[in-house]
Amino acid sequence: MPIPNNIRAYLLLGVTTLSFGMNANFSKLAVDEISPMLLVTLRWIATLLLVLLLARSRLVKDWPVLRRHWPFLLAMGMLGLTAFNGLFYVAAYTTSALNIGIIQGSIPVFVLLGTYMLYRTRVRSLQVVGIAVALIGVAIVTINGDIDRLLGLTFQHGDILMVIACILYAGYSIGIHKCPDTDRLSLFTMFAIGALVASIPLTIGETLLGNLQWPTTRGWIIVMLVTLFPSFLAQICFIKAVDIIGASRAGIFFNLVPIFAAIIAVLFLGERFVQYHAIALALVLGGIGISEWGKRHEL
């Protein structure tokens, strides 16, 4: 029996957000093993080689269509993939992980606002309620269940960079639905080219500042894992999911990223699983459920 489209999309988004949750932990493991901008460049070199290996014949077939849209497609990769990650890394120097986690939870809000402003997509009240509930879950896991950390929150210059980064990724999410109708691996190849081109100046800047660190053996393993999961598998799954249910519905699933990141940290980095993790997970899943029910109720 074929899997219903909605269920397929949920599974694809589950893989996407699980892979992004892995990425948060990979970034912790990468400290002192490889410099961040070099990691960005190497991940996109490896990802591009992988997709060219898998999609070379499809890319040749789709090239006449892709060529007509190449400026848009390369810009999607530059802004949505590399610029987002670059701003993410730079913001970490001038703001806290707490602020970054909370602000990253704004991506679904920006996606919802963007689809409404650009396409006048109807926003139902239950979708707003669902996003709000999910954001509460994100906030709980980000503050480690300690309300005093939230009350003592202050905002830094890095927070502005994070807001810009979230807007860029929201724009990338919305833009996927307007891409040409080609094989999704061919499409992602163009995104990967744009991401690689944009990453090279970042690594050059890192080198000029004297911050370049060539990967250790463990660093090379991290490059491989980042390539396979957040750079390749997650991006392909996300593109396919947006094709099925649209950017506004797919966007709310990003609230699962900090939840998955926390669970992976518990399982593999020895961090403790405590009550607030369970509460946050229930709120995020409940918020997604409310939003999805509201959208389907409209239909």
Helix (H, G, I), strand (E, B) or coil at 65: helix
DSSP string over 225-260: HHIIIIIIIHHHHHHHHHHHH-HHHHHGGGGHHHHH
Determine the average pLDDT of the residues in 118-122. Answer: 74
CA angle 187/221/214 to nearest 5° reads 95
Alpha helices (H) in the chain, listed in sequence order: 5-29, 36-68, 70-77, 84-91, 97-104, 107-119, 125-142, 147-151, 157-176, 184-208, 217-226, 234-245, 247-251, 256-268, 275-298
Compute the residue count for the chain. Answer: 299
Determine the average pLDDT of the residues in 60-84. Answer: 94
Q: What is the pLDDT of residue 101?
A: 66
Instruction: Answer with the residue of higher pLDDT: 151 or 173.
Output: 173
| pLDDT range class, residue 99, cuts 50, 70, 90 | low
Q: What is the pLDDT of residue 299?
A: 47
Sign of CA dihedral 90, 96, 101, 103: negative
| pLDDT range class, residue 298, cuts 50, 70, 90 | low
For the cut 90, the answer to whether the pLDDT of residue 175 exceeds it is yes
Instruction: Answer with the residue of higher pLDDT: 210 or 268.
Output: 210
Q: What is the pTM of this model?
A: 0.84
Which range is most confident: 17-31, 90-104, 208-222, 241-255?
208-222
Q: Where are the domains of the chain?
A: 5-298
| pLDDT range class, residue 297, cuts 50, 70, 90 | low
pLDDT in tens, 187-201: 999 999 999 999 999
**What's the mean per-residue pLDDT of the chain?**
85
For the cut 60, the answer to whether the pLDDT of residue 142 exceeds it is yes
Determine the average pLDDT of the residues in 39-47. Answer: 95
Q: What is the pLDDT of residue 65?
A: 95
| AA letter at 24 | A
Question: In this predicted structure, which of 27-41, 65-79, 133-147, 211-225 has the lowest mean pLDDT?
Answer: 133-147
Instruction: Answer with the residue of higher pLDDT: 94 or 134.
Output: 134
Q: What is the pLDDT of residue 49?
A: 95
Determine the average pLDDT of the residues in 154-175. Answer: 84
Q: Report in angstroms the alpha-carbon separations of 117 from 74, 120, 121, 170, 212.
A: 24, 6, 8, 13, 41
CA-based nearest residue to 259, from 141, 135, 131, 100:
141
Tokens 């949920």 belong to residue: 10
CB 1 within 8 A of CB 245: no
